[in-house]
């Protein structure tokens, strides 16, 4: 059975929407990070799906997906490091309380 492309796209859209919802609504930084990972993976699904359904057989979509995974790993590492530092300095990682860059 051939799964149609639309299913993958719907999945990725759902994942993306959940991710965006998470980023907007969550106040815990780790949760936001997880939501961002969801968004990234939504994009990954799209890349891989389009690459599989490509009639020419171009594999650049897969390569992009690999790059994104690597970059996402790095991003997660740096993000976590930042949060650890934030936690050390402020004792919490609630982004609702971290507004020192706010316009006074």
Partner 1 sequence: MASEILLGKTVLISPFIGAVIVSILAFLHYSRGNKHEGHDSGKHDTHEEHTSIHYTRFENVVSTFGILSILVSWLSMVLLAINYLPGEEHETLQSQFGFFGFKEGGTPDIPFGLLIDPLSVYMGLIVTTLALLIHIYAREYMHGDAGYSRFFATFNFFTGVMLTLVFSTSFLELFIFWELVGLSSYLLIGFWFYKPAAAHAAKKAFLYNKIGDITLLAGFLMLYRYTRTLDFVELPAKMEALTDQQIAIVAVLIFGGVIGKSAQFPLYTWLADAMEGPTPVSAILHSSTMVKAGIYMVARVFFIYYEAHDGHNVFAGAEWALTVFAWIGAITALLAGLQALVENEIKRILAYSTVSQIGYMAIALGTGGKTAAMFHLLSHATFKALLFLTAGAVIHAVHTNNIWEMGGLRKKIPKTFWPMLIGATALAGFPGFSGFWSKDAVLLAAYESKVPGHLVIYYLGALTAFITALYSTRFIYVVFFRTPDPEHKEHVEKAHDGGFFLTTPSIILGVLVLIESILFIPVFNFEHWLNEILEPEVKPEAINYVVAGSSAIIVLLGIFVGLVLYHWKPELRTSLYNIDAFNWIANEFIAKRYRIDQVLYWIANAPVMWVAGILQSIDLKIIDRTIIDTWIVKGSLQLAKISDVFDQGFIDGIVNGVWQIFLYFGRQFRKLQTGLVSNYATIFAATLVLFLTYVNFLVLFK
* Footprint of partner 1 (CB under 8 A): 20, 23-27, 32, 95-96, 98-103
What are φ and ψ of residue 94, in 5° steps? -80, 115
Which is closer to partner 1, CB of 48 or CB of 98? 98
Is the separation of the CB atoms in 16 and 33 below 8 Å? no
The number of beta carbons lying within 10 Å of the beta carbon of residue 92 is 13
Of 8 and 83, nearer to partner 1 (C-beta) is 83
Least CB distance from residue 37 to partner 1, whole Å? 15
Closer of 32 and 49 to partner 1 (Cβ): 32
Q: Which is nearer to partner 1, 39 or 49 (CB)?
A: 39
**Least CB distance to partner 1 at residue 103 (A):** 4
Contact 42, 15 (CB under 8 A): yes
Q: How far is the CB of 101 from partner 1 (least distance, A)?
A: 5
Smallest distance from partner 1 to CB 2, Å: 27
Burial class (CB in 10 A: 0-12, 13-18, 19+), 2: exposed
How many residues are given for the chain?
A: 104
């Amino acid at each position: 059975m051939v799964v149609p492309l639309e299913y993958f796209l719907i999945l990725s859209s759902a994942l993306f929407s959940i991710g965006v919802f998470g980023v907007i609504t969550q106040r815990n930084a780790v949760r936001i990070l997880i939501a961002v990972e969801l968004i990234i993976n939504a994009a990954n699904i799209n890349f891989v799906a389009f690459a599989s359904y490509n009639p020419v057989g171009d594999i650049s979509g897969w390569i992009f997906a690999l790059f994104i995974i690597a970059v996402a790993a790095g991003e997660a590492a740096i993000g976590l490091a930042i949060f650890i530092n934030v936690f050390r300095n402020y004792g919490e990682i609630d982004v609702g309380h971290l507004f020192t860059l706010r316009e006074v």
